[in-house]
Chain A
Amino acid sequence: MSSRGAHPRHPAPYRYTIVERLYLPLLSGLWVTLRHFVRNFFGRGKTYTINYPEERRLYSPRYRGHHILTTRPDGSLRCVACFLCAAACPAECIHIEAGEHPDLNIEKYPLLYNIDMLRCVFCGYCVDACPEEAIIMSNNHDMAYFNRGQSVVTKDELQKPYAYDESRLGYRPHYPEEQAQHAALRHGLVDLVEEARRQGADSASRTAS
């Protein structure tokens, strides 16, 4: 580290230039706002706000949203109640009670699997910890509850709404192909919002028809 001069004892405030005294730079500022106004007025500018919830932002396939419990082909939960997710959870929001599975190869299954969504910090540690790919995340982030009781979601609710909707998946261990697809889709980065708007318009026209 170079040796420097003493710390200045007193502040030396900025001195106005003559142009600044005459308020002249205000004109260039007005030009900036005028430029933005004209551009936006004729629809050439890029507005960053979207009409949520009709339009939704596009999220990456890594988005850490509401959890999903995955199932085996026969429809039973993949979870073997090993408690690794509950141990890894920094917010201590996962509550599991294990039961004995009739199939000896599987040994255990969860009688209860509750996640308190108001405690959850959506860090994705449970997904990292799971040795069975039994818990993954979706890209659903709108969770609203009328009371605290509703925020504790059970294994039925965790498995229900998203199980078959591939486009709504989020953070999970394996996503190389989708990742490539999404990357191709999002190559023009600034068009994330545009894309959201387009998809919103699509779904609106679908519901209209």
Chain B
Amino acid sequence: MPTTTAPLPLPERFPADSIQLREGLDQPTWIVRREILVDLARELTADPETGFDLLLDLCGVDYPDREERFEVVYHLASLRGGGRLRLKVPVPEDDPVLPSLIDVWKGADWFEREVYDMFGLHFEGHPNLRRILTHEAFQGHPLRKDYDPARRWILTEDKMYRPQPEPPMDAEDDMFERMTINIGPSHPAMHGTFRVVATLDGEIISASEVEIGYLHRCFEKMAETHTWQQVIPYTDRLNYCSSFINNVGYCRAVETLLNVEVPPRAVWARTILSEFSRVMDHCVCNGSSLVDSGALTNFWYLFQPREEIYGLLEACSGARLTVSYCRIGGLAADLPPDFEARCRALLETIPAFIDDVEKLIVSNRIWLDRAVGIAAIGGEEAVNWGWTGPCLRASGVDYDVRRDNPYDLYDTVDWDVPVFHGGDVHDRFRVRISEIRESLKIIRQLLDRGMPEGPFIVDDPHVALPPKEVAYNQMEAMIYHFKLIMDGIQVPPGEIYSAVEGANGELGFYVLSDGSGKPYRIKVRPPCFPIFSTFSRLINGGTISDAVVSLGGLNVIAGELER
């Protein structure tokens, strides 16, 4: 990943000992005293040209041996200037307080709640600092190193949090029609398990509160107790609609830390399968959001290409949904001999379905009345909330990780980033339809280039298992085989933030290694986490049926949102 190209604003007006500059492996890193954090953040966002307008990620790290035990890590990006920056703020255990940045980046809202939940750090000035992923009866903070992963806590009914969103009082509200209802967590319109508590005035949502955490499995804690290879099946279950992209994202992060060069055949296959996964994910999202608005036929038309792509993924990896096809250093197995023929056949079949759906929907006034102007958000606000991916591009912001921080083969193919300006459900739909076409364009070019010959995984016995024939016949290979499985890959100490373009936005992996055989900390930057934190803002003031349509258009995947 290219490091920053834009000059960083030099923090001269701050005391010399409050900022230490470090060159990171991937991006510049500043270690910042918490006293100046808010001022520095304002300074960094001030310049409209190169300012860091996007708060990508905010996470905590626990170092029990350090004097200042915790560290809060902020990942910033400047969409217009192209810079990236990592801020680290040490926080001592006996005074675990730091200022909230919610006034600078609204997207910090849920991220700060997550750090509070997982590490017990308090953010001064946060309006609603409650647990977010774990429940109210949970004791302790699970991502602290001294928390036992096997502990279980039972939530009883009397301890359950009951949101009571109070709408702002105005003179016309006669309280007569006011009613508070639950939408979810088990409701067919809430894809996954989300709970929205809405106060209605007639049919209009006047206030709402979003509850998540029903599918939280603490992926990040589990990753700390497994070897680097063993984390790959866990990543399948993040965004399960396009699990292959998660595999790629994680493996790329670890490969960068290891400084391993992936063979061209694997890179080629990763790019093609990532694009097919993206097509699949967009089909699911558009199909199910159309079902929510009553257009059931499209669901069938869009799920057929998905079925075909599942066949391809299954032929490669042996599983349809949870593929686990990547390995650190390459792929789990060589591509099947009919891979190219199957891809070509898919390129023939998929466009017909997309055309059908487009004919049914895009100019259909029944859909337009349902979708245009619904849950609309401007580009500037969306960036401030931390949006990325198709939803952001529907709001007119031209940002795509595949083009702006190219990885794999994306900089060698010719394709466009579709951008629309409505910022509403309709344009999110149109962005996804256009992206399916662009993905197919990428795949076609790569297929025309031909499959690169060579190995599918790096030939390094410290990283990849030796082939079985070799392991059966050579003592040395057998020893490597045993060592790799018992001890895992030995990743050198270091940290990296590596991002790929997931199907619903920038999917980042912040990976920390301390040189032992297990990850020290893995933080996923789930693209739909900041997107869903905006949900209250999007649906307040609209009708309750619009809330359903807007959720479908956001493509929020519970597995990734709650990890």
| B338 A25 Cβ-Cβ under 8 A | no
Q: Name the prevailing secondary structure of the B interface residues.
A: helix
Q: Which residues of A contact B229 (CB under 8 A)?
A: 88, 125
Within 344-364 of B, Cβ neighbours of A (below 8 Å) are at 345-346, 349, 356, 359-364
B338, B349, B363: the one within 8 Å of A20 (CB)? B363
| A14 B372 Cβ-Cβ under 8 A | yes
Within 1-24 of A, Cβ neighbours of B (below 8 Å) are at 1, 3-4, 6-14, 16-17, 19-21, 23
Q: Is B281 an interface residue (CB 8 A)?
A: no
Contact with A along B376-411 (1 / 0, CB 8 A): 111111110000000000011110000010000000
**In which size bucket is the chain A interface?**
35 or more
| CB closest residue in chain B, given A180 | B337
Within 293-348 of B, Cβ neighbours of A (below 8 Å) are at 297, 301, 303-304, 307-308, 311-312, 314-319, 322, 324, 332-333, 336-338, 341-342, 345-346
Report how many residues on chain B are interfacial, defined by Cβ distance under 8 Å: 81
Question: Which residue, of A9, A28, A60, has the highest number of chain B Cβ atoms within 10 A?
Answer: A60
Stretch at the interface among A69-77, A155-163, A184-192, A201-209: A184-192
Q: Which residues of B contact A143 (CB under 8 A)?
A: none
| B379 A189 Cβ-Cβ under 8 A | no
Q: Is A62 an interface residue (CB 8 A)?
A: yes
Complexed CA–CA distance, A21 and B346 (Å)? 36
Q: Which residues of B contact A88 (CB under 8 A)?
A: 229-230, 485
Known contacts A12-B422, A14-B372, A60-B318: A190-B349 contact under CB 8 Å: yes
| B485 A173 Cβ-Cβ under 8 A | no
Contact with B along A63-81 (1 / 0, CB 8 A): 1100000000000000000
A29, A125, A170, A183: the one within 8 Å of B364 (CB)? A29
Q: List 19 A-B contacts (CB under 8 A).
A: A3-B80, A3-B81, A7-B79, A7-B382, A8-B379, A8-B395, A10-B378, A11-B424, A14-B368, A26-B364, A26-B366, A29-B359, A48-B307, A60-B318, A62-B315, A62-B333, A180-B337, A183-B336, A189-B346
Question: B residues engaging A (CB < 8 A)?
Answer: 5, 48-49, 53, 79-82, 226, 229-234, 297, 301, 303-304, 307-308, 311-312, 314-319, 322, 324, 332-333, 336-338, 341-342, 345-346, 349, 356, 359-366, 368, 372-373, 376-383, 395-398, 404, 421-424, 426-427, 465, 468, 471-472, 478, 481-482, 485-486
Question: A residues engaging B (CB < 8 A)?
Answer: 1, 3-4, 6-14, 16-17, 19-21, 23, 25-26, 28-29, 31-33, 36, 48, 59-60, 62-64, 84, 87-88, 90-91, 121-125, 128-129, 131, 133, 137, 170-171, 173-174, 179-180, 183, 186-190, 192
